[in-house]
C-alpha cells in the first residue's frame, strides 16, 4: 500500500478536484506540460508522478480509491485547447482503455472504489463499459447536454459481468 490512498492516474490539470493539492491523492498523468489557452489562461499539467494509465507503476491493491478520467477524444485539432486540456486517444483506443480499466482495478484494494468519468461526445459510454468485465454500481449524467457520465464501481471478487 502506498502512503496515499487515492490515485488519479489521468489527472490532467486537476480541474474537477475541489482541492487540487489534496495530500491524500497521488496525481499521475502521462503528460507533464504547460499551455497558454487562447483566452490567456495558463493550463498546467503537472503530475506528482508521470505515468501511463495502461501500465500503472504500483503494486496490486495499493489504493482504496481510483479516479479514472482518461482522454475521451479521438479527434481534436493538433493545437486545439480541447487536445491540450483533455489529451487524445490513440488509434488503438479500445485496447488502451481495456488495459486502463484492468490496471485501475489491479491497483485497487479489495472492495476499493473506482470512480470513472467519461464524456460521450465522440464515443458512447456503452462502448466504453463493454471494455471492462466489471459491472458498475451506479452513475450520473451531467453537463449541458448530459454527455458526461460519472460511474461508480466497487472491486469485488463477484463484481464481473455475468458472475
Closest listed residue to residue 151, CA positions, set 123, 119, 122, 121 = 119
Q: What is the pLDDT of residues 85-140, one digit of tens each?
A: 888 999 999 999 999 999 999 999 999 999 999 999 999 999 999 999 999 999 99
* 59: CATH: 3.40.50.150
- On whether residue 1 sits in a domain, the answer given is no
Domain limits at 44?
A: 6-154
Asked if residue 42 is part of any domain, the answer here is: yes
User: 23 vs 5, 6, 48, 115, CA distance in Å?
Assistant: 10, 9, 11, 19
Total number of domains constituting the chain: 1
pLDDT for res 77: 82
pLDDT number for residue 36: 84
Query: Is residue 159 in some structural domain?
Result: no
Residue 162 lies in a domain: no
Q: How much is the average pLDDT of 45-74?
A: 96
Domain-embedded: residue 21: yes
Q: Where are the beta strands (DSSP E) in the chain?
A: 6-8, 25-29, 33-36, 42-45, 49-50, 63-68, 108-119, 138-142, 148-154
- Asked if residue 88 is part of any domain, the answer here is yes
Amino acid at each position: 500500500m502506498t502512503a496515499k490512498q487515492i490515485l488519479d492516474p489521468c489527472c490532467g490539470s486537476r480541474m474537477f478536484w475541489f482541492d487540487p493539492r489534496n495530500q491524500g491523492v497521488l496525481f499521475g498523468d502521462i503528460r507533464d506540460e504547460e499551455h497558454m489557452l487562447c483566452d490567456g489562461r495558463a493550463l498546467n499539467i503537472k503530475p506528482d508522478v508521470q505515468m501511463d494509465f495502461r501500465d500503472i507503476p504500483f503494486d496490486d491493491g495499493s489504493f482504496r480509491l481510483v479516479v479514472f478520467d482518461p482522454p475521451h477524444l479521438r479527434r481534436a485539432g493538433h493545437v486545439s485547447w480541447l487536445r491540450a486540456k483533455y489529451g487524445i486517444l490513440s488509434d488503438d483506443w479500445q485496447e488502451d482503455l481495456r488495459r486502463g480499466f484492468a490496471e485501475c482495478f489491479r491497483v485497487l484494494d479489495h472492495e476499493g472504489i473506482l470512480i470513472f468519468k467519461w464524456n460521450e461526445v465522440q464515443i458512447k459510454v456503452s462502448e466504453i463499459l463493454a471494455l471492462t468485465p466489471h459491472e458498475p454500481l451506479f452513475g450520473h449524467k451531467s453537463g449541458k447536454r448530459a454527455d458526461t457520465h460519472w460511474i461508480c464501481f466497487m472491486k469485488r471478487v463477484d463484481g464481473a459481468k455475468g458472475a
